[in-house]
Copies of this chain bind each other. A is one copy, B any other.
């Protein structure tokens, strides 16, 4: 299963692609889509979508994961972030990809083990879990963490079903 994690933002949208094979997670790619800072909102949203389309078309993920964002203290920032998030999800659904959502708490618990981890701890664990040589950029690390979180939840879902006596055969319950 190939998973694309997205950490949406109006200025910088991080992305991270991993392959999930049983309990193994393999790094495929990560980076950022940056929008022109002097552009209007519609142009910025278009550059987020165009960037994500290029990533989806190149890496062909089967699942997309987007972090459920914090509601910011500043309502105007919340609105801007909501619009960027709307554009990012739009890009995924326009390519007919299923989109999963996790809270920041779930993502941090999945990769660091507790929900109050700092950004640096997320970067450190993403580097270790994916055997990276260097630290990924902060937004890219968050996107990879989302993808890792989804891999774990997907895994534990399968294990949970197995414990209940179900088996999954060719993607269907048997």
Contact = CB atoms under 8 A, between A and B. Distances in A.
A64 B58 CA distance: 31
A14 to B, nearest CB: 17
Nearest to A75: B71
A85 to B, nearest CB: 6
Copies in the complex: 2
A79 to B, nearest CB: 4
Contact of A71 (B49, B79, B81, B91): B79
A12 interface: no
Contacts of A85: 79, 82-83, 86
Interface stretch (A93-101, A107-115, A128-136, A160-168): A93-101
A37 interface: no
Contacts of A3: none
14 contacts: A41-B89, A45-B89, A46-B90, A46-B93, A46-B94, A71-B75, A71-B78, A72-B75, A78-B79, A79-B79, A80-B82, A83-B89, A86-B86, A90-B90
